[in-house]
Amino acid sequence: MKINPNKCVACGNCTYVCPMNAIYIDPAMNRATIDRDECVECYSCFNGLSQEHLNPSLVRGIRKVLSVLKVRFDPEPDVCPTAAFEPDELSWPRVVRRAFSDPSVPHESTGVEGRGTEEVKTNDVTGRVKVGEVGFTIEFGRPGVGVRFREIQEMCWTLAKANVSFEKRNPITSLMTDVPTGTLRSDILAEKVMSAIVEIKVPVERTEEVIRLVWDVEKQLDTVVALGVATRCEEDGEETVVLPILERLGYKPQRAKTNIGLGRLVTLEASGQAAAEVNGNAAAEVNGKMAVGAGAKTA
């Protein structure tokens, strides 16, 4: 994103809408300026402010005259009065910033907007986490904080050494040049994004080991990390394996979400799968195919 200095009248409105605090009024130029290294190309400034088309010279002139009279002339807080924002033609690798930061842009690798993954919210349709497995979403960054891929790289290397399975339908996995070692493309490591999610899964017996690994690595990272844990309910709808581990590690179950599996019947593929399961004499298992997601923050 760029601000055209010939148009900007330094009203300061945009400095309040940038979630990364990347816009400031340069005192030397008296123009709003974007710190390009901190900007994650989220487009909140361009899309969040109404772009008016007032004449910059006229607005500057009025502001100057009124300031002499000790009167302020400020535009409404939700407008850029002179339409000074000019989106860049983003090329690789900068374009990954927008993909992970502008929620209106779908990821090329998955077709999903925002962080580019459905996580286990659609587990009833996708079956990412199967019986006997535990899935993890490891979320990096937040508005105001962000994350660079080199921080994510540290986590991926550690997880890969522990022989976890990275989710294929995830945009971070698609940016790996070597999935078995968890190695990301080297040309994106310095790029900063608003947030990103790594998804892995392991056999349920390894739940505590993986959580402790994430704890160890996150202490070394210059960002915030939130951990989500997902597992399948038993046939009676209860979950008695993973939840006690989470509680022992200090997590509270109140934040858990339960996917009751209604989605399985709304697509042809899901309907076919459900019918096959019933025909395969697994009616009881159909009831047991529920996923539990425990949104457990670690930082």
User: Which parts of this chain interact with ligand SF4 (CB under 6 A)?
Assistant: 1, 3, 8-14, 18, 20, 22-23, 32, 34, 39-45, 80-82, 84
**Closest by Cα among 163, 161, 155 to 216:** 155
Check if the beta carbon of residue 82 is closer than 8 Å to that of residue 56.
yes
Q: How far is the CB of 143 from ligand SF4 (least distance, A)?
A: 9
Tell me the three state secondary structure of residue 196.
strand
Q: Which is nearer to ligand SF4, 14 or 197 (CB)?
A: 14
Q: How far is the CB of 196 from ligand SF4 (least distance, A)?
A: 15
Q: How far apart are CA 222 and CA 266, in angstroms?
A: 42
Q: Which is nearer to ligand SF4, 4 or 109 (CB)?
A: 4
Q: How far apart are CA 264 and CA 122, in angstroms?
A: 9
Q: How far is the CB of 67 from ligand SF4 (least distance, A)?
A: 15
Q: Which is nearer to ligand SF4, 46 or 251 (CB)?
A: 46
Q: How far apart are CA 111 and CA 99, in angstroms?
A: 11
Tell me the three state secondary structure of residue 236.
coil
Q: Which is nearer to ligand SF4, 113 or 285 (CB)?
A: 113
104 φ, ψ (degrees, to nearest 5): -90, -5
Q: Which is nearer to ligand SF4, 82 or 273 (CB)?
A: 82
b/e burial code for range 155-171 (CB count within 10 A of at least 16 → b): bbebbbeeebbbbebbb
Q: How far is the CB of 48 from ligand SF4 (least distance, A)?
A: 7
Q: How far is the CB of 98 from ligand SF4 (least distance, A)?
A: 8
